[in-house]
Amino acid sequence: EPYRRQRQMCIRDSVETILEALHLYEDNLAKKFETAKPNSIERIEMGAKKASTQTLIERLSRRLPFYAE
């Protein structure tokens, strides 16, 4: 039982670290998106990456309470 609890805490900490990194990445994408020329390929790519990042954050956030138990 202690090993299982320790493993869950390690996974939870890993998920939290990944979420923090994704939030930083998302902020960086938002800044690049704002400075890109309208209707440019770069802006379209930044928008797609930002949407993908938001999806990952949502999915990981839903799983986080499971690891905290």
Q: 49 near 55, Cβ under 8 Å?
A: no
What backbone phi and psi angles, to 5 degrees, belong to 37?
-65, 140
Q: pTM (2 decimals)?
A: 0.70
Q: CA-to-CA distance for 58 and 52, rounded, in angstroms?
A: 10
The pair of three-digit structure tokens given for residue 14, joined into one six-digit string: 């890993």
pLDDT digits (tens, 9 = 90+) for 47-67: 899 899 999 888 888 876 665
Express each pLDDT in 1-59 by its tens digit. Answer: 778 878 878 877 888 888 889 999 999 988 888 888 988 999 999 889 989 999 988 88
